[in-house]
Structure 1
């Protein structure tokens, strides 16, 4: 009598349904017959690739030749036998977890579903449409072109303002990035992109909601359990709830009576084991097993839910000496600095993102010391696999609802569609221990204020959160300030809702209140990344700098040797930001000398530039987290962590999960113990406003301790004069220090030697060393810009490789020693041509390093497979 589920993984096939209206109708391949599907779930581009009817959009300029796929209609079909349970169960339902996007479903020739939202899971009772036992049933799903349907919606409701890519996207409840973005291609998919099931039952558990409250001293927890059931049968149903600990041992068991389809309980947990974000403690997970019984005590259904005991709150309190309020996350009573990365869908073709890939991504985030991921609103509501990975690895999730950079309609049909979508998705993810915040969308307020796509800025009262909004110049506030908060407060009141990102204060990007997107570097004014210190806000939820991926990835999207130069069409095809090629060149020429004739040299310099920019921002913003009342910046979320295809972008891990050099700079800045140096004046740039070549610099040192305990160690300074190639003795090169827990500690000004002159080019290294001689953190500060520096001709780096000790964390140890200060030393394997496409890159203990003369630095490595090592640093092509 229990609920039964059959997943329709096998037996699917597909074909072209209708090519009318396609701009490339003459070049469409003949696909009249049904073709077996390669997998389920599926999208049509995957099937065409598998059938060799489509060139790979990840390669070269192929994206430009596949656009016809999104302009035509497609069909999928599948046959299944009538389940034997059809005569025993009251309900036989088709459950569609996700259909992309405009669908008509027919079962045995009868229409059973029509849908227009890829984010809504559909349930359809099919018992009356099934064939007799012993015979097969046929499902046919028609997927109409989202491009054609978008034109119909434009005709019916008017054209939206073009803020980013195709304005038709804003009429359609489909992942917005499918229409292209400034880091991804235009690939308008369709298909059954999530699993399809047949469910049979008499009664079932519909939803289980688990919330918890911690006592102030976290010695007790109260757990609230709410169960909703579908119980059409007569009689008193009961629910048995059983809580298991991480070892599977029973903690609590209780019988509950179901009344009007609902059951509820509140239980006390003494000495709760808590879930903490990465870097703050363990990730303890409990399991709730919910079992539904009939009046006759017959088992009807079971559901398993993982949950955690933790509190997450957003703290907005006044600061001691600065205007506005904090924007700070507090977990289990502890204020923490958020170290984050923005997340976009990890592939344009969603079924390719496997559970293994999700875990690999999140484990890389953890290795870079992230404690939060922001799921950007132009993608999807992320999957169970994504949330499992975040729950288990302690990565907090800020999840945007599916709105991004939009001028969305607010007519009744659209709002009804959105309501169903958000209700379904919020219910699905609300139990997740990692879920820290739900956000209404991305940049919708900010872009309206800026007037992007409009003839002028939109004028509205940013403090008005009550409305009415319908007859104003910015009516979309009805979505973000009324519809979405009403849904979230009703369905998951324990999770903070935030109307948009950025949002708060007198404007969306008010640096004194709420979160900001800091694009004065790269976009907008295109300020120097060295100015990040003065560009912070209370919480920076976006900022970024472009950088090429490593050459192994570049070789994939530039397969033709004649295109392997920085300004080729293939290179530009895989950089989607408008004007990005100009901005990369500008930031490069401002900071470095580089070889524009070599793609490898150009790519390396962009990687160094990205590494430097992220280092400046993260060090300077963490410096502003100084204890209660002094948290003027409480978080930085890098745009972006990942890519959806091989591309030059702001990411620090590329599409193939190959880390960029900036990964290591981020890892050092986000490490439990980090150290920074501020040089004054910041640079020696020479122009009409800066007539002096230089002046004697001053240095201040600071360090951040994200751990929960004080750390005692020594600050060790080493200085070198680049102009004379000699070591410089500073008056005080070692002192004992104590780093306060969970905040920045200022370590004071460095006393300069009297021998420094205006011509001195001091390279200063600062290390934090414990009593055992272990280096806890290290940084090297340089006179900038690097384009003014001239390395001596005899500059070299000696490299020795040896096998690590048995049982060590690393397979090989690489020892490095330089005779001059070295900037941006990047280690990579010497490829032997035998690498398989999916073979992972070596894992390095550290990389993208700065070296001081005479010091020996050891770096562990895994996965070299006996290959040699290539060492590249800033000046190597001019020596």
Structure 2
């Protein structure tokens, strides 16, 4: 009998309470769905994304909810040798499942897939069956687990303690960028399966030859059924681009239903490369199972794979220990973003929306995305988009900012979760790293938990008040080694030698989260160049989204001002009221109106991104001297419309910071920066003579040091012309003779061009030409911008006849030129600075270019 899958998608309804509750059933969305979405569908709650409505729906998390559907049994599943199962790809989270009144499953882990044999419970062909799922509140169940385990010290950052023992997306409890929306429901598909034999999984393990021209390995298939020895399994391996039958291989049964076949792809094999370094060649691997004698085919399954070699290079060097990625023997500077779930209600995120998000990352020249440990193991569509578009994935396991327990039942569930998800995702060539958690070692340091680096006995770790070390340093690396062969593992982010955390950063080893800008000591972002590390896997600066986004979620005009209750409620970052205003006030002349303040926050965030990516990419250096291996901003996206560190808002509308990253991650980019005048390094007895702000106003009277360099990810040397100009902010005229340099730009590294001194307050403009075409420019301003005056800038706009582009020119230097973007509009660039003599052409989609509003600093 062939494999038959019947998705149980429709005819669902739900009610408040358990099975015996007298509440009335209401129509639900098709599965997958969540209770908040279904309550919205039935007008039982206000939209929690608007105004202060999040508060009005908190009660939902404290209730039990029941989902129910009916479905007929397919007529042909009663044949001999047929097995019938219900597959639950994900239940959120404490769920009791009943089929025709019989309890068939109890779930307590949102990240697990369950397959239940219901052959004895399913009714005869054509007869209706009733499926019911009761979801108990994770908030209350979590508190019960805390009480049941007094032996453990449950410590969590962000909201409250009940999330610690619950295997559920941790951000549902709220975070410093997202609301508290504790949803529940059948959040992944449910399928009725009937079969004699079924292929449970298909995977490949392979090695590339030293010269990367040949691949050899084994193809595997795990078959479920009664008599695997009576079966025949064949594999085919086909490059997706050529659409032929490819290589065909006959599998050999090795026991326990596992079939394998050796294969090789002779030279030259087509490799999968990160974006910017080569093509993303993909192959289809297909396995088919049939009867060895009759050749009746029972089932087939396929995966899309790519051949690549990925290494995490951690070698001793003159600085400490390196931390960077090498793919296909090429050192890769990883410039990209951290990723949080794309919605507070996960079932709203379609495959198309995932692709849009990854496309945005790719279009801004990013080549890595970090899936953060407080969210979910993402949808297959997410990783497929990364495969297609060449985005490397740093994948956290789902632990974040807590001291997690390690009692027996918890460890069993965690191991099952880790193995399932490693198996589900291991075929994706995009996955470059598995990481144990996010910031859990920070908890160790802050609360003085027991951690002895010299103690290497995993069983002893379980007896400490930090038992989760067993998970991060023994269990998870073991799972990765066994299930995801060829992919590196890292115990935590951040993690150096076990002592380097977010609180105590050791920039010479491991990755770091640099939060002394914004959080911590609130350093000026101009100090980013000196605040890097071997790999900066988190840092950030907040900014408002564009006004249209705010106007969608702040519905009353009287609430649309900086500091309104509705605005402050929407920004979940601790201390944001002081931090955001402080950073704006330190750098710019304050504007209190809504559009003006929003614009300044955006320019500030874009400036911060420019300082960070430009300077830390400079530290990429050259082979053997990789001072910084990558930069991942916190964060790419939002889970609701809000004010946060995201560089693209909930509606996929980029902020100017997005374009700053895009410019700094071009394959070849020029950088120019002047040294920041750091008054804090002066002797204490001189401080009284100077301004108490972070920038000394007398610096404008002094000569300052500046440097120009070129960063390249090209794998060949390039000949370039570099021009450096010094331009008066007041007049727009050049005040010194321009400097011209001709350089051979080093391949895959940094080329220093000039280091000298000049006087402020002039703009320094550096441009890079290759084959007589300008491909990059960079402008350095004397900080803080608020000390500068911007009389008429003589801004000129020239629109193409079809409105698909606009060219901007200026008579005097302009800071922070921003078009107001909105949903459905796409620009090729935004949030840029301009100097006289440069024409800036921006491509526009979704609206006639003349319809775009714009502003600049001091306008």
Q: Which residue of 1 aligns with 2:789?
A: 790
1:291 lines up with 2:291 in the alignment: no
Q: Which residue of 2 aligns with 1:342?
A: 338
CA 1:817–1:15: 2 relative to 1, 3 Å: same
1:661-714 Cα shifts (integer Å, max 9, x gaps): 111111001111111112135479952595834301232101111122222221
- 1:237·1:257 contact (CA, 8 Å) conserved in 2? no
Distance in 2 (alpha carbons) for counterparts of 1:638 and 1:784: 23
Distance in 1 (alpha carbons) for counterparts of 2:635 and 2:173: 19
- 1:328·1:539 contact (CA, 8 Å) conserved in 2? yes
- 1:19·1:73 contact (CA, 8 Å) conserved in 2? no
1:383-412 Cα shifts (integer Å, max 9, x gaps): 111011011001111110111111111111
Distance in 1 (alpha carbons) for counterparts of 2:806 and 2:28: 48
1:566-586 Cα shifts (integer Å, max 9, x gaps): 111110111111111211011
- Give the alignment partner of residue 311 of structure 1, picking from 309, 319, 322: 309
1:501-559 Cα shifts (integer Å, max 9, x gaps): 11122523332111111111111111111111111111111111111111010111211
Distance in 1 (alpha carbons) for counterparts of 2:676 and 2:89: 58
1:594 lines up with 2:590 in the alignment: yes
Q: Which residue of 2 aligns with 1:852?
A: 835
Unaligned ranges ≥5, structure 2 = 681-689
CA 1:562–1:460: 2 relative to 1, 3 Å: same
CA 1:80–1:506: 2 relative to 1, 3 Å: closer
1:631 lines up with 2:626 in the alignment: yes
1:508 lines up with 2:503 in the alignment: no
Q: Which residue of 2 aligns with 1:807?
A: none
- 1:43·1:349 contact (CA, 8 Å) conserved in 2? yes
CA 1:557–1:465: 2 relative to 1, 3 Å: farther
Task: Give the root-mean-square deviation of aligned CA atoms.
Answer: 1.9
Q: Which residue of 2 aligns with 1:834?
A: none
1:181 lines up with 2:181 in the alignment: no
Could you tell me how far 1:854 is from its partner in structure 2? 4.2
Could you tell me how far 1:565 is from its partner in structure 2? 1.1
Q: Which residue of 2 aligns with 1:151?
A: 143
Runs of 4+ in 1 over 6 A off after TM superposition: none
Distance in 1 (alpha carbons) for counterparts of 2:660 and 2:641: 21
- 2:707·2:755 contact (CA, 8 Å) conserved in 1? yes
Q: Which residue of 2 aligns with 1:269?
A: 265
Q: Which residue of 1 aligns with 2:710?
A: 703
Q: Which residue of 2 aligns with 1:668?
A: 663
- Give the alignment partner of residue 823 of structure 2, picking from 840, 855, 869: 840
1:613-637 Cα shifts (integer Å, max 9, x gaps): 1110111101111112210101011
Could you tell me how far 1:461 is from its partner in structure 2? 2.6
Distance in 1 (alpha carbons) for counterparts of 2:740 and 2:19: 74
- 1:14·1:37 contact (CA, 8 Å) conserved in 2? yes
Q: Which residue of 2 aligns with 1:326?
A: 322
Q: Which residue of 1 aligns with 2:198?
A: 204
- 2:708·2:754 contact (CA, 8 Å) conserved in 1? yes
CA 1:460–1:751: 2 relative to 1, 3 Å: closer
Distance in 2 (alpha carbons) for counterparts of 1:742 and 1:488: 30
Q: Which residue of 1 aligns with 2:691?
A: 687
Number of aligned residues: 835
Could you tell me how far 1:869 is from its partner in structure 2? 2.5
Distance in 2 (alpha carbons) for counterparts of 1:142 and 1:688: 61
Distance in 2 (alpha carbons) for counterparts of 1:355 and 1:394: 17
Written as runs of structure 1 = structure 2, the 5 A alignment for 1:757-836 is 760-772=760-772, 774-792=773-791, 794-803=792-801, 812-828=804-820
Written as runs of structure 1 = structure 2, the 5 A alignment for 1:47-126 is 47-88=38-79, 89-126=81-118
Written as runs of structure 1 = structure 2, the 5 A alignment for 1:298-697 is 298-319=296-317, 321-322=318-319, 324-451=320-447, 457-458=448-449, 460-462=451-453, 464-467=455-458, 468-505=460-497, 507-509=499-501, 510-596=506-592, 598-682=593-677, 687=691, 690=696, 692-694=698-700, 695-697=702-704
Distance in 1 (alpha carbons) for counterparts of 2:481 and 2:798: 60
Could you tell me how far 1:65 is from its partner in structure 2? 0.5
Distance in 2 (alpha carbons) for counterparts of 1:298 and 1:855: 70
> What TM-score results when the alignment is normalised by the length of structure 2?
0.94
Distance in 2 (alpha carbons) for counterparts of 1:572 and 1:77: 40
- 2:546·2:820 contact (CA, 8 Å) conserved in 1? no
- 2:156·2:164 contact (CA, 8 Å) conserved in 1? no
Distance in 2 (alpha carbons) for counterparts of 1:816 and 1:722: 18
- 1:641·1:653 contact (CA, 8 Å) conserved in 2? yes
CA 1:191–1:866: 2 relative to 1, 3 Å: same
> What TM-score results when the alignment is normalised by the length of structure 1?
0.92
- Give the alignment partner of residue 34 of structure 1, picking from 25, 33, 58: 25
Distance in 2 (alpha carbons) for counterparts of 1:269 and 1:726: 62
1:12 lines up with 2:7 in the alignment: no
Could you tell me how far 1:18 is from its partner in structure 2? 5.0
Could you tell me how far 1:658 is from its partner in structure 2? 0.5
Distance in 2 (alpha carbons) for counterparts of 1:602 and 1:718: 31
Distance in 2 (alpha carbons) for counterparts of 1:669 and 1:372: 14
| SS of match in other structure, 1:697 | strand
- Give the alignment partner of residue 241 of structure 1, picking from 235, 240, 250: 235
Q: Which residue of 2 aligns with 1:251?
A: 246
Could you tell me how far 1:867 is from its partner in structure 2? 5.1
Could you tell me how far 1:462 is from its partner in structure 2? 3.6
More off after superposition, 692-701 vs 817-826: 692-701
1:777-797 Cα shifts (integer Å, max 9, x gaps): 1111001101111112x3331
Distance in 2 (alpha carbons) for counterparts of 1:705 and 1:503: 28
| SS of match in other structure, 2:611 | helix
- 2:207·2:215 contact (CA, 8 Å) conserved in 1? yes
Distance in 1 (alpha carbons) for counterparts of 2:440 and 2:601: 30
1:117-136 Cα shifts (integer Å, max 9, x gaps): 11110111111112222210
Could you tell me how far 1:863 is from its partner in structure 2? 1.5
1:353-410 Cα shifts (integer Å, max 9, x gaps): 0001000000000011111111000000111110110110011111101111111111
Unaligned ranges ≥5, structure 1 = 21-29, 452-456, 805-810, 830-838
CA 1:71–1:786: 2 relative to 1, 3 Å: same
1:872 lines up with 2:855 in the alignment: yes
CA 1:488–1:856: 2 relative to 1, 3 Å: closer
Could you tell me how far 1:723 is from its partner in structure 2? 5.3
Distance in 1 (alpha carbons) for counterparts of 2:849 and 2:322: 51
- 2:99·2:131 contact (CA, 8 Å) conserved in 1? yes
| SS of match in other structure, 1:177 | helix
CA 1:234–1:473: 2 relative to 1, 3 Å: closer
- 1:239·1:291 contact (CA, 8 Å) conserved in 2? yes
- Give the alignment partner of residue 737 of structure 1, picking from 726, 739, 743: 743
Distance in 2 (alpha carbons) for counterparts of 1:565 and 1:726: 38
1:49-93 Cα shifts (integer Å, max 9, x gaps): 111111111110100110011110111111111112321252100
| SS of match in other structure, 1:265 | strand
CA 1:528–1:751: 2 relative to 1, 3 Å: closer
Distance in 2 (alpha carbons) for counterparts of 1:389 and 1:795: 43
Q: Which residue of 1 aligns with 2:687?
A: none
Distance in 2 (alpha carbons) for counterparts of 1:725 and 1:588: 26
CA 1:683–1:594: 2 relative to 1, 3 Å: farther
Distance in 2 (alpha carbons) for counterparts of 1:581 and 1:342: 24
Could you tell me how far 1:590 is from its partner in structure 2? 1.0
1:244-271 Cα shifts (integer Å, max 9, x gaps): 1122123311112324212212212111
Distance in 2 (alpha carbons) for counterparts of 1:370 and 1:691: 37
Distance in 2 (alpha carbons) for counterparts of 1:427 and 1:647: 35
